[in-house]
Amino acid sequence: MQFTSSPARRSPPTIATLVMLSGLSALSLNLFLPSLPNMAAYFDADYKVMQLSIALYLMISAVIQILIGPIADKVGRRPVILWGLVLFLIATLGCIYSPNAEVFLAFRMFQAVVAVGMVLSRAAVRDLYEADQAASMIGYVTMGMAIVPMIGPAIGGFLEESFGWKANFWLPFGLGLLALMLTYSDFGETSRKSGLTLLQQFREYPELLRSPRFWGYSMASALSSGAFFAYLGGAPFVGTELFGLTASELGIYFGAPAVGYFFGNFFSGRFSVRFGVNRMVLWGCWMNATGVALSTIVFLTGFGSVLSFFGFMTIVGVGNGMTIPNATSGALSVRPHLAATASGLSGAIMLGGGAGLSALTGAILTHETGAMPLLWLMLASATFAIVAIAIVIRRERYLGL
C-alpha cells in the first residue's frame, strides 16, 4: 500500500480531522472500562488481570510514542498516521475475536498504536503555530477531544448492557475506518522531512533530555495527569465494588473529569495567548491539586459518597485541561525543529508514569482500605506537579532559562 501525495493532501489538516485523531485515541483508552467485570467473567480471568488492559495499553503507548516522534520527523506526519490507523484496525479485530485473556491482552497492547493520532495531531499544530498560539490551538483541539472521554464510558456502559462487551470494540473499529478515510483525504503534510537517518534522528533525543525546561514541562504534564491515570485504574473498582454502581451508572459517573477537562481546554484556548504558557500550567496544577484535596478531606471526615468522589474529579479535569495543552506546547517549543520527537517523548513520560500509577492503584485498593489509597496517591501526584512547574518558572525568572 502506498500513500501518495496530491495537491489536496499537501494542505494543512482541518481542526475536525485533528479532533477525530485525538478523540479516537481517547475513546480507545476508556470506552470499554464499564465492561471490565463482565469481560473478566467471559474470559474466566481475575478482575486484576483484566485491569492490566489499562496499564499495559498505557505502557505500550509510552514506548510507541518514543518511536513515533523521530520516525515522523524523518518521513513526515501523514504516512505515519495512516499506517498507524491501519494497524489499529487489525489490533481491534484481534481484541474482538480473542479466545482467551492472554491473547486479548496481547492485541490490546497492539491496539495502543492509535497513539500516533494523539502525538502527531499535536505535532502538526506546533508545525503551524508559535508557542502561545499553539497552546491555544492544542487547547481547542483537546476541548473537542474531551467530548469523547466524557461520553465514552456512558456509551460503553450502554453498549455493554445492550449488546455485550464486544460492542465496545466494534465501535472504535468503525470510527477507526472513518478516521483513516478522513486522514487520507484531508491530512496534508505539515512538516518538512528532516533529511536525517533514523539513527541520526534518535540521536537528537539527548538534546531534549539535557533541557531542564523540557523536563519541567513534561513532568508537570505527567504528574498532573497522573492524578487522572490513578483515577482511571481505581475508579472502576471504587464505583462497582464500593458503591455498587451498575455498568451504565459507572459509565455516567466515570465521565466526570472529562466534563471539567472540556472547560479546562476551553480556558486554555481562550486565555493561553493572553496569560502565557507558564501561568496557565501553574494555575491548572493548583486546580488539579485542589480538587483531589477537597475529595480527600470529605472522605477523611466520614462524608465520602459516590457524588463527592466523582464530583470533585470535575475540578481535577479542569486543572488537567489547563495544564496539559500548555505544558505540551511548552515542551514542544523547547526545540521546535524536534516537535514530533518532543511530542512523542513528553507523551511517553506522561503515559509511562500513568501506566505505573494505574497498575499501582489496582494493586492497593481493597474493600478494607476503601478509596483512601487512591486519593492519597492522586494527591501526591498533583502536589509534585506544582513543584515541577514552579521550578520552570523560577529558572526563567532568575536564570533566564
- pLDDT (tens, 9 = 90+) of the chain, 401 residues, equals 444 444 344 567 777 777 788 778 778 877 887 788 888 888 888 877 887 887 788 788 878 877 877 787 777 778 888 999 999 999 999 999 999 989 999 999 899 898 888 778 777 776 766 655 666 666 666 665 556 656 777 788 888 888 888 888 999 999 999 989 988 887 777 666 656 666 666 666 677 777 888 888 889 988 988 888 888 778 888 888 888 887 778 877 877 887 888 888 788 777 877 888 889 999 999 999 999 999 999 999 988 888 999 999 999 989 988 888 888 888 877 776 666 677 777 777 877 777 678 778 877 777 777 788 889 999 999 999 999 999 988 887 776 55
CATH number of the domain encompassing residue 130: 1.20.1250.20
pLDDT of residue 176: 92
Boundaries of domain holding 298: 11-191+198-398
pLDDT of residue 9: 46
Q: Please name the residues in contact with 237: beta carbons below 8 A apart, sequence gap of 6 or more.
A: 47, 51, 362, 365
Residue 1 included in any domain: no
| pTM attached to this predicted model | 0.69
pLDDT of residue 348: 75
pLDDT of residue 193: 62
pLDDT of residue 3: 45
Taking the C-alpha atoms of residue 343 and residue 242, their distance in angstroms, rounded to an integer, is 38
Taking the C-alpha atoms of residue 326 and residue 288, their distance in angstroms, rounded to an integer, is 14
Structural domains of the chain, count? 1
Residue 355 included in any domain: yes
Q: Please name the residues in contact with 153: beta carbons below 8 A apart, sequence gap of 6 or more.
A: 30, 31, 33, 34, 250, 251, 252, 254, 255
Residue 295 included in any domain: yes
User: Which residue in 350, 280, 238, 307 sits closest to 132, CA to CA?
Assistant: 280
Both ends of the chain: CA-CA distance in Å?
46
Q: Please, what is the Cα angle at 293 between 397 and 298, to 5 degrees?
A: 165
Residue 391 included in any domain: yes
pLDDT of residue 254: 78
Residue 203 included in any domain: yes
Residue 5 included in any domain: no
Q: Please name the residues in contact with 203: beta carbons below 8 A apart, sequence gap of 6 or more.
A: none
pLDDT of residue 389: 92
Residue 2 included in any domain: no
